[in-house]
Structure 1
Amino acid sequence: MIIDAHQHFWRYGTEKHAWIDDEMSSIRRDFLPSDLKPLYEENGVTGCIAVQADQTLKENDFLLEQARKHDFIKGIIGWVDLRSNELKSDLDYYAQYPRIKGYRHIVQAETDPLFLLRKEFLRGIAELQKRDLVYEILVFPHQLLAVLEFVKHFPHITFVLDHMAKPYIKQGFFESWALLMREIGQIENVNCKVSGLITEADYQNWTEQEMVPYFDLVLESFGTRRILYGSDWPVCLVAGEYKEVLALAKNFADKLSANEQVDFFYNNAQRIYNLKN
């Protein structure tokens, strides 16, 4: 059994998805559950966590609509404005939908290096912590210093670090990323998705060998109970097929025991997102 802990759906819009640049033009189209389900059937994936790709409340409604129609969508990571005065009422509204497991903000796009530490944002995370909701951290490596300080403010929330903080694999950047990931890994309420690596390497010429140090560092830092598999479909398609992403994860998991592999591919996601089926 496999839970894919990170994938997206969207109806493509030029403005809404402006982050899909010319180099990624192959994914400038709609991606819906009907596109993903055959891949899951082919690769033995039993369910997924659908993650927001647009920072609007309408995105939550769109993902909820997909989940109502497709029961393989086991959970949703949505979006709310965590700095808004309307935050509590927004969270109250979406609390009626247990499929929403938590929220994230696209911090990687913020130019303020201390965005995570601003008073208004911290107040929003405190509200998520009160409600036992997950917060997913989407950052680049140069933002990890702020992440390290940020997560220490909230010992009772479940954090999930997306895409291993998107290491600069193409540039060969490793040591500083590794140093901070080790520090963050010591904080026990932070989990890490093993996902999104091939799109941080050269799209056309990445190799499994260059990924290995990054996989190993995350395993060393977070252990087998706080890592979980994610594909980052359909973004991954700019650099490879779904089966290639899953094969990378399976090759990484070969060094784990049988029970640890079940944790990585299934149990950890079940526990972290409190999945009911």
Structure 2
Amino acid sequence: MRLDSHQHFWEYDPKRQDWISPEMNRIRRNFLPGDLYPLLQDAKIDGCIAVQAEESLRETDFLLDLSSQNEWIRGVVGWADLKSDQLDEVLDQYADTTKLVGFREVLQSRDPGYMLQEEFIRGVQKLGIRGYAYDILIFPNHLTATLELVKRCPNQRFVIDHLAKPYIKDGDWKDWKKGMALLAERELMHCKLSGMTTEANWKTWTADQLFPYLEIAIELFGPDRLMYGSDWPVGLLAGEYEKFWEVMERFTDTLSLSEKARIMGGTAAEFYKI
């Protein structure tokens, strides 16, 4: 099975999607399953994981509704307030929702210390008890705190979104690699090969600029803990869907067929229990 492990849907609202700045005019509109499906077909991709882009239970319900209407949306990574005293009650409401495979929030917008609060750690631990995955959306300056979070949640399946957003535009990778290497030592830590082009120069990036980061990722995690993700439609800021997909095809063509199959779908299917 070939899977796009990371993409988003939304009905554009400037208040709900307030993170979409004027320079992101390309994505200031609705993006729904009918927009994505032809792109997946062209890339011979069997399905996708829809990931939250808004921090609300409304968003979780919206994505689950879309997944119920479109079989090829194989899973949903939703949102819940992990610090809430009512978290158990919220999770109980979704207990029979098989397509809800994990949770995420926008940690990159918060101080690294946020994820080390006892209430947050308790919430992540509750996700693990119920079998959910957790997507970690961070910048490189969050890597040290992320390692501490992971140590406090040793039985939780984690995946780092967008390689923790290394500073590709600046060609800076040494400190990022050190932090990622420590996380890669944790057996249940995975990583998404996604969101790279928007960390480079949107207009001038090349595949050769991305390859060193891909090579570091496979050195640290191996194909069994890496998964392809388009970050569509955010990735449209730096090129059409097929542009980054072609980079991934070119990169994985240097691997064995079984390794390529893991990165292009097998790892995601196993991680999210598809």
* TM bin (shorter chain): over 0.9
Per the alignment, residue 25 of structure 2 pairs with 25
Distance 2:79 2:129 in 1: 17
CA shift, 1:113, in A, is 2.3
Runs of 4 or more off by more than 2 Å in structure 1?
A: none
Per the alignment, residue 187 of structure 2 pairs with 188
Distance 1:37 1:214 in 2: 28
CA shift, 1:266, in A, is 1.7
SS at 1:104's partner residue?
strand
1:247 pairs with 2:260 = no
Q: Deviations over 1:217-239 (max 9, x none)?
A: 11011011000010000000010
Residue pair 2:121, 2:153 contacting (<8 A) in 1 also: no
Cα RMSD (Å): 0.8
Per the alignment, residue 165 of structure 2 pairs with 166
Distance 1:270 1:123 in 2: 26
Residue pair 2:5, 2:265 contacting (<8 A) in 1 also: no
SS at 1:170's partner residue?
helix
Distance 1:184 1:206 in 2: 27
Amino acid paired to 1:61: D
Per the alignment, residue 4 of structure 1 pairs with 4
Amino acid paired to 2:132: L
Per the alignment, residue 108 of structure 1 pairs with 108
Amino acid paired to 1:80: A
Q: Deviations over 1:126-147 (max 9, x none)?
A: 1111111101100001111111
Q: Deviations over 1:69-89 (max 9, x none)?
A: 111100000000000011000
SS at 2:13's partner residue?
coil
Q: Deviations over 1:18-60 (max 9, x none)?
A: 1111221110000000000111111111100000000000001
Number of residue pairs aligned between Structure 1 and Structure 2: 274
CA shift, 1:212, in A, is 1.1
Amino acid paired to 2:127: L
1:15 pairs with 2:15 = yes
Structure 1: which 5+ runs fail to align? none
SS at 2:223's partner residue?
coil
Per the alignment, residue 125 of structure 1 pairs with 124
SS at 1:225's partner residue?
helix
CA shift, 1:63, in A, is 0.5
Q: How does 1:1-277 map to 2 (within 5 A)?
A: 1-110=1-110, 112-275=111-274
Q: TM-score, normalised by structure 1?
A: 0.97
Quick one: percent identity of the two aligned structures? Answer: 43
Residue pair 2:101, 2:272 contacting (<8 A) in 1 also: yes
Q: TM-score, normalised by structure 2?
A: 0.98
Distance 2:7 2:93 in 1: 24
Amino acid paired to 2:154: P
Distance 1:251 1:148 in 2: 31
CA shift, 1:255, in A, is 2.0
Amino acid paired to 1:118: Q
CA shift, 1:148, in A, is 1.3
Distance 2:235 2:92 in 1: 34
Q: Deviations over 1:137-178 (max 9, x none)?
A: 000011111111111111211101100001111122211001
Q: Deviations over 1:241-272 (max 9, x none)?
A: 11111111111112210111111112111110
SS at 1:210's partner residue?
helix
